[in-house]
């Protein structure tokens, strides 16, 4: 499969929230799209944060484009010169006040919406989190923090009884798979040790 060719490109809007680019493209079959809108955004990071009590940390906030209130995992844009790990630790601490002594575990890396957006999203798992301080929110942020039993929140997603968005559901099931696989491996290792000891 061949890529499209960019024949012309111009910015029609630039801001701290991202840039909107207007491209003229030619498809491999010769079809020309005169006006293709591309949204340029910084890379995003998000994290499934689980406390020592096995509760998932969820943030509640109003989303203007969705015109509703959503329950989500902590997330945000990377700042200049930050690594993805540094960015998610900062975002979690700012939005929720939670922190962990453990390093974030990378669960996945994907494009947010490659049809119209340029940015990547890295999803992390943060374990054994504890409340360290109060929130440190931006002027445009109004965020409430909630704690849910991890399995209960999964049932809420499955039953569609919580208003959320794609990256939260994606991250939850990635975390659940990781934890299930890790626990099975831990059990296998323990069984091997017990068998060896007789």
19 & 52 share domain:
no
Q: What is the pLDDT of residue 188?
A: 55
Give one DSSP letter per residue of 118-166, joined into a string.
--EEEEEEEEEEEE-S-----TT---EEEEEEHHHHHHHHHTT-S---H
- Per the structure, the count of domains in the chain is 2
**What's the pLDDT score for residue 182?**
79
- Do 100 and 34 lie in one domain? The reply is no
DSSP assignment string, 39-105: EE---EEEEEEEETTSEEEEEEEEETTTTEEEEE--EEEPPTT--HHHHHHHHHHHHH-EE-SSPPE
Each residue's pLDDT, cut to its tens digit, for the chain (198 residues) gives 999 999 999 999 999 888 999 999 999 999 999 999 999 988 899 999 999 999 999 999 999 999 999 999 999 998 888 999 999 999 999 999 999 999 999 999 999 899 999 999 999 999 999 999 999 998 889 999 999 999 999 999 999 999 999 999 999 999 999 999 877 776 554 454 344 334
Q: How many CB atoms lie within 10 A of CB 126?
A: 24
Residue 102 shares a structural domain with residue 20: no
The answer to whether residues 92 and 135 belong to one domain is yes
pLDDT for res 178: 95
Q: Both 36 and 61 in a single domain?
A: no
Q: Are residues 57 and 129 in the same domain?
A: yes
Asked whether residue 19 falls in the same domain as residue 74, the answer is no
Q: How far is CA 83 from CA 89, 90, 121, in A?
A: 10, 11, 13
Q: Does 192 map to a domain?
A: no
Domain that holds residue 28: 5-40
Residue 59 CB-density burial (10 A; 0-12 exposed, 13-18 middle, 19+ buried)? buried
Residue 194: inside a domain: no
Instruction: Answer yes or no: are the C-beta atoms of 40 and 18 closer than 8 Å.
Output: yes
For β-strands 120-131 and 44-51, DSSP reports them as: parallel
pLDDT of residue 187: 56
In a domain, 180, yes or no: yes
- Structural domain contains residue 76: yes
Could you tell me if 109 and 159 lie in one domain? yes
Q: What is the token pair recorded at 71?
A: 């329950």
Does residue 178 belong to any structural domain of this protein?
yes
**CATH number of domain containing 119:** 3.90.79.10
| pTM for the full predicted model | 0.87
Report if residue 191 sits inside a domain. no
Q: At 14, is the secondary structure helix, strand, or coil?
A: strand
**Residue 196 maps to a domain:** no
CB of 147 closer than 8 Å to CB of 51: yes
Q: Are residues 57 and 135 in the same domain?
A: yes
Rounded to a whole number, what is the distance in angstroms from the first to the last CA of the chain?
58
Q: Please report where in the chains the tokens 């962990």 appear, as a residue.
A: 100
Question: The tokens 């929110």 sit on which residue?
Answer: 137
Per-residue pLDDT, 186: 62
pLDDT of residue 80: 82
Statement to judge: residues 52 and 129 lie in one domain = yes
For residue 172, being part of any structural domain is answered with: yes
- 32 & 100 share domain: no
Strands 120-131 and 105-111: antiparallel
29 and 108 inside one domain: no
């Amino acid at each position: 499969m061949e890529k499209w060719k960019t024949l012309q490109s111009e910015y029609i809007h630039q801001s701290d929230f991202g840039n909107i680019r207007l491209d003229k493209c030619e498809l491999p079959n010769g079809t020309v799209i005169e006006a293709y809108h591309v949204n340029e955004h910084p890379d995003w990071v998000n994290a499934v944060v689980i406390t020592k009590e096995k509760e998932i940390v969820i943030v509640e906030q109003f989303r203007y484009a969705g015109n509703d209130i959503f329950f989500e995992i902590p997330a945000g844009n990377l700042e200049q010169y930050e690594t993805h790990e540094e960015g998610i630790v900062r975002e979690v601490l700012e939005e929720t006040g939670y922190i962990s002594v453990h390093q974030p575990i990378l669960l996945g890396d994907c494009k947010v919406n490659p049809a119209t957006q340029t940015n990547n999203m890295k999803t992390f798992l943060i374990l054994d989190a504890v409340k360290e301080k109060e929130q440190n929110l931006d002027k445009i942020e109004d965020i409430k923090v909630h704690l849910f039993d991890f399995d209960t929140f999964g049932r809420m997603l499955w039953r569609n009884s919580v208003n959320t968005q794609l990256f939260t559901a994606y991250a939850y099931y990635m975390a659940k798979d990781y934890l299930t696989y890790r626990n099975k491996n831990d059990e296998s290792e323990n069984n091997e040790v017990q068998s060896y000891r007789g």
